[in-house]
Structure 1
């Protein structure tokens, strides 16, 4: 059986501006996910300390 992932919710990463889709590992806290990757999440903390 072939599954197509066209109906998954998406968000836009505020750091890099790329869109990212829902993942199963985020199912419990999808509302809290803001960044597409660990790298973008770390850049957020770097931006706060440099400002």
Structure 2
């Protein structure tokens, strides 16, 4: 029942993503939907300057 899982919006791609078992210990710190977005966080923040 995936609709019951918590979800967030990725800070880079702005798409929603659901909780995953691998994030159970640090869900509050998760900000990106994937490793690719996490690596691209620098480019997204530099675009604002």
Whether these two folds match at TM > 0.5 is yes
Return structure 1 stretches of 4+ with deviation > 6 angstroms: none
What 5-or-longer segments of structure 1 have no aligned partner? none
TM-score (norm 1): 0.79
Q: Which has the higher contact order (CA 8 A, sep 6+)?
A: 2
CA RMSD of aligned residues (A): 1.6
Aligned length: 48
State the TM-score, normalized to the length of structure 2.
Answer: 0.81
